[in-house]
């Protein structure tokens, strides 16, 4: 019987391998996986502030600022003053950013197609279901740990 830790290690290994593979294929098109997250967010939800992106993507504000700086330097986003807050800027994706994002998503799709061709339809359905169960359990564990953390913080 396969031990839980062996399954977990294999899952972690697969995640990192696929992440590197997808990132490399996207980067060849000029938009890394990390940069694509910012561009995709702006593409889907429209102009917003760095703080909105940081909150939505669970990144540190400094990380977002540095990423947006690079994207702006490359002409993929623009910053304009926020009419409601003189200290803030509104970030928007440019046509070049949209084109770059679409170009980078194509090799991502190809990697996913190639990877999942190793499974038949029934296996993909089973994997999807099993990953959902693990995801639900992770949320449950995370919620219970956060509740414990919140109680510790309240007691302090």
Question: Contact at 8 Å (CB) between 31 and 103?
Answer: yes
* Cα separation, 77 vs 69, whole angstroms: 9
User: What value, to the nearest 5°, has the Cα angle with vertex 25 and ends 114 and 45?
Assistant: 100
List own/partner pairs for 150-156 with CB under 8 A and 24 or more apart: none
Name the pTM for this structure: 0.77
Those residues with Cβ within 8 angstroms of residue 19's Cβ, 6 or more apart along the chain or in another chain = 33
Q: Phi then psi for 30, rounded to 5 degrees?
A: 95, 0
pLDDT digits (tens, 9 = 90+) for 19-74: 999 999 999 998 999 999 999 999 999 999 999 999 998 889 999 999 999 999 99
* Cα separation, 1 vs 100, whole angstroms: 46
pLDDT digits (tens, 9 = 90+) for 100-125: 999 999 999 999 999 999 999 999 99
């Amino acid at each position: 019987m396969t031990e839980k830790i062996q399954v977990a290690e294999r899952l972690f290994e697969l995640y990192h391998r696929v992440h590197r593979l997808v990132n490399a294929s996207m980067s060849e098109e000029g938009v890394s996986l990390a940069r694509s997250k910012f561009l995709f967010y702006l593409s889907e939800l429209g102009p917003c502030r760095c703080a909105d992106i940081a909150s939505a993507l669970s990144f540190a504000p400094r990380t977002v600022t540095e990423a947006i700086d690079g994207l702006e330097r490359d002409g993929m986003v623009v910053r304009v003053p926020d009419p409601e807050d003189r200290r803030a800027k509104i970030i928007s994706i440019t046509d070049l950013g949209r084109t770059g994002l679409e170009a980078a998503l194509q090799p991502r799709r190809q990697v996913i197609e190639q990877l999942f061709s190793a499974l038949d339809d029934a296996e993909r359905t089973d994997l999807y279901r099993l990953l959902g169960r693990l995801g639900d359990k992770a949320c449950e564990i995370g919620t219970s740990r956060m509740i414990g953390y919140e109680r510790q913080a309240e007691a302090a």
